[in-house]
Structure 1
Amino acid sequence: MKKTFLFAICLFTVLTYSQEIKLISQINVSGEGKIKVVPDQVTILATVETKGTNAKEVKKENDQQMESVLKLVKSMNLAPGDFKTKRVSLNPQYDYEKKKHTYNGTQTIEILLRDLSKYDELMEGMVDQGINRIESVTFQSSKLVQYQSDARKLAIKEAKMKAEDYVSVLGQKVGAGITITDNSQTYYPQPVYAMKSMAMEADSATPRQTMAAGEIEITANVSVSFKLE
């Protein structure tokens, strides 16, 4: 009997709570915040590729060219943590028509350049020292975390403004937020892909500007439920 009585009380409490939840007047809206910023740094993926019929010679030539590239990078006073070897490979390839093996050696270096004014100097210098493939160039902001926070705040403000627009016609007011859902996707800077092979004019005496960084866009999306008063 006691168990039945306790079960009835619990059931009544759950039903009453559910009814109270359903009776809360609320509005569900979405908001988007966008921040456009000028990038202040760039990540470059660059590769030295060598080919030949002798594996040892191909690797040796590849190492020599990458050594020259690293010397150039170090001479530009980049922090040791801002450049690193990303990939190294030495692969045999068989030519069925000529019935002989050749070898393809590659080394890829990743460079974070924090001073964009050195971009052209670095790119031209790397090609002069042996880089013959630019994999990608990705412009970024060193203040990404701050801008992501600003974008989220703008998204919440837009959501509240939408809610106020809707309920103003009904003569109601927007109350406290009930739930907030972050629908933002992880921000990945979009790389600019270069051609497989790259050549620059070595005899040009006039400094050239080949970079147009433009702007990067950081976006936040939220869904918010507000209580209506």
Structure 2
Amino acid sequence: MKKILYLFTIVLATFTAMAQNNNIITPQVNVTGEGSIKIKPDYAVLTIGSEIKDVDSAKAKQKNDEIISRMIQVIKKKGIDEKDYQSQRVNLYKTREYQENKDYFVANQTLIITLHNLDIYDKLMSELIAAGANTINDINFKSTQTDKYASQIRAKAILNAKKKAEDYANAIGQSIGKALIINDQSTVNTPRVYMMKAEMMASDSAENKQTLAIGEIEILSNVNVVFELN
């Protein structure tokens, strides 16, 4: 019995010593790093469609289908590849106008168009509206170079964090060691336009005026890095 108790005491002491060693706090320096760049978009994703309201469900759907058909013809005439446009949703539902105390049917359909030639944006929008499009849900400008630049900016953010850590360590006569934790908080901010009625653009578009400023895409990389402090 004494022998068992003696062995248990040794094992307990060993685990206690190990736990104490594991609880030793490694000196650390915690910093953030930043990197950013602005690039010009080279394509856009348009979400545009039609919505028709009628007391007759069949008429509502028929009118909406006719508009969508004309819109697709416009898209084809502009030379946009079939893979670059598709229907997002098709809806037909009943709604009540309580002020009129009357029931209506609403038919709507949305097309998503990936436009690689931004030079035809205004002309395309003008012709889609002339074809009957009356809802614009989203216009999102993007760049095919986003991933390329994002990789560069992430590296820049890490180097920025490292430089900060070295500055702090040098100020107290120490140096930094390996990175212990890296927490990425990168974002891509793209110019967008949401939920607007196509009629708002109709007058300008009809005269082939520029109706929307494309702006720039901003790629931001923010990292939080914990370095070992020597």
1:214 aligns with 2:208: no
**Distance in structure 1 (CA, Å) of the matches to 2:219 and 2:205:** 38
Residue number in structure 1 paired with 2:64: 62
- Note if contact 1:180-1:225 (Cα within 8 Å) is conserved in structure 2: yes
Residue number in structure 1 paired with 2:203: 200
Per-residue Cα deviation, 1:64-95 (whole angstroms, up to 9, x for no partner) = 11011112112223232321111222222334
Residue number in structure 2 paired with 1:10: 15
- Note if contact 2:28-2:226 (Cα within 8 Å) is conserved in structure 1: yes
- Note if contact 2:92-2:108 (Cα within 8 Å) is conserved in structure 1: yes
State how 1:59-208 maps to structure 2 within 5 Å: 59-184=61-186, 187=188, 189-193=190-194, 195-198=196-199, 199-200=202-203, 204=207, 207-208=208-209
Residue number in structure 2 paired with 1:30: 32
Per-residue Cα deviation, 1:162-188 (whole angstroms, up to 9, x for no partner) = 112222222333332222122335x46
Q: Give me the TM-score of the superposition, normalised by structure 2.
A: 0.86
| Letter paired with 2:219 | I
**Distance in structure 1 (CA, Å) of the matches to 2:184 and 2:195:** 35
**Distance in structure 1 (CA, Å) of the matches to 2:15 and 2:204:** 83
**Distance in structure 1 (CA, Å) of the matches to 2:91 and 2:113:** 19
**Distance in structure 2 (CA, Å) of the matches to 1:117 and 1:201:** 16
**Distance in structure 2 (CA, Å) of the matches to 1:114 and 1:202:** 19
**Distance in structure 1 (CA, Å) of the matches to 2:189 and 2:90:** 25
Structure 1 residues 108, 172: CA separation in 2 closer, same or farther (over 3 Å shift)? same
SS in structure 2 of the partner of residue 34 of structure 1: strand
- Note if contact 1:151-1:219 (Cα within 8 Å) is conserved in structure 2: yes
| Letter paired with 2:203 | M
**Distance in structure 2 (CA, Å) of the matches to 1:6 and 1:84:** 69
Structure 1 residues 106, 168: CA separation in 2 closer, same or farther (over 3 Å shift)? same
**Distance in structure 1 (CA, Å) of the matches to 2:139 and 2:65:** 23
- Note if contact 1:43-1:137 (Cα within 8 Å) is conserved in structure 2: yes
> How far apart are residue 29 of structure 1 and its match?
0.7
Structure 1 residues 167, 44: CA separation in 2 closer, same or farther (over 3 Å shift)? same
**Distance in structure 2 (CA, Å) of the matches to 1:96 and 1:228:** 69
> How far apart are residue 109 of structure 1 and its match?
0.9
| Letter paired with 1:151 | I
Q: Give me the TM-score of the superposition, normalised by structure 1.
A: 0.86
Structure 2 unpaired stretches of 5+: 1-5
SS in structure 2 of the partner of residue 30 of structure 1: strand
Aligned length: 223
| Letter paired with 2:222 | N
SS in structure 2 of the partner of residue 195 of structure 1: strand
Structure 1 residues 10, 122: CA separation in 2 closer, same or farther (over 3 Å shift)? same
Identity of matched residues, %: 33
> How far apart are residue 43 of structure 1 and its match?
1.0
| Letter paired with 1:3 | F
**Distance in structure 1 (CA, Å) of the matches to 2:99 and 2:214:** 46
Structure 1 unpaired stretches of 5+: none
